[in-house]
Chain A
Amino acid sequence: MKRFGLFWWDFVVGDDWRVAVGIALALGVTALLATTWTGAWIVLPLAVAAVLALSLRRVAR
């Protein structure tokens, strides 16, 4: 069971769990803003760029 869970963790989340957390937060913020602001579509692309940049920076230090 533990190995099965680890497989799915590695399959979906992979090397850097911070990417998954960052995307979850960005989706939450998008959902909150989308109720009142039509420009909320911009949040996720910018979050993707920022999360990826931070993850790459951690490796390339």
Chain B
Amino acid sequence: MGVTRGWRSALAGTVAASLVLAVVVAALGPALTVIPIEVLRLVVGSLLLVFGLQWLRKAILRASGWRALRNEDSVYEREVEAARAAAADERAGLDWYAFTVSFKGVLLEGLEVAFIVLTFGSTQGSIPLAIAGAAAAVVLVVIAGVVVRGPLSRVPENTLAFAVGVMLTTFGTFWGAEGAGVDWPGGDAALPVVLAFVVLMSLTYVAALRRRKLAVA
């Protein structure tokens, strides 16, 4: 939006969405801490699990060739084309198209991040620590972006999606089962074992689907 429609309205949309996100986090964070931990783990675990399996499913299908890898260059070109073609509509001194697209994009993607950060933080009993981890990730991404100075197509997007899917599925399985009343053998030490299981399962599915793709072709 900044490049095609101007930075002022795009940044205004970004700042407005960031403020809404800050209010959501400030309101939901303390509210989550008063829910009993078992209930929280069941709800959060099941949501993370369903959410994580979505990511993992898509990443496995892309890695095995059953779904096309996202081409960031063509996505960027398409979005630039659409932004240039959109009619000018000035409201409150802002380019309304640039403002709303920026606002929507930052708010929706931000909600996804806020959901993950708040749920991880609340189930482990430290929302500030989870927020610090998320902030550190933002700093690292910005530094990587400045150092690499390359297009988004250089980012191994599916590898990242695969890793996120594995982590969400692992924590979702662990907390979901705990919330349902299960005691894991070895307590928290079972978490790396669940992680290894999810990684092995996912790689096995990728290999099986690749073979199937070759057989079909």
Contacts and interface: CB of A to CB of B under 8 A. Distances in A.
B173 A45 contact: yes
Interface residues of B, number: 39
Q: Is the interface of B mostly helix, strand, loop or mixed?
A: helix
Interface string A20-38: 1001100100110011001
Nearest to B205: A56
A7 B66 CA distance: 26
Interface residues of A, number: 31
Contacts of A27: 42, 46, 176-177, 179-180
A60 interface: yes
B60 interface: yes
Interface of A: 7, 11-16, 19-20, 23-24, 27, 30-31, 34-35, 38, 40-41, 43-45, 48-49, 51-53, 55-56, 59-60
Interface of B: 42, 46-47, 49-51, 53-54, 56-58, 60-61, 64, 66-67, 108, 111-112, 169, 173, 176-177, 179-185, 190, 194, 197-198, 201, 205, 209, 212-213
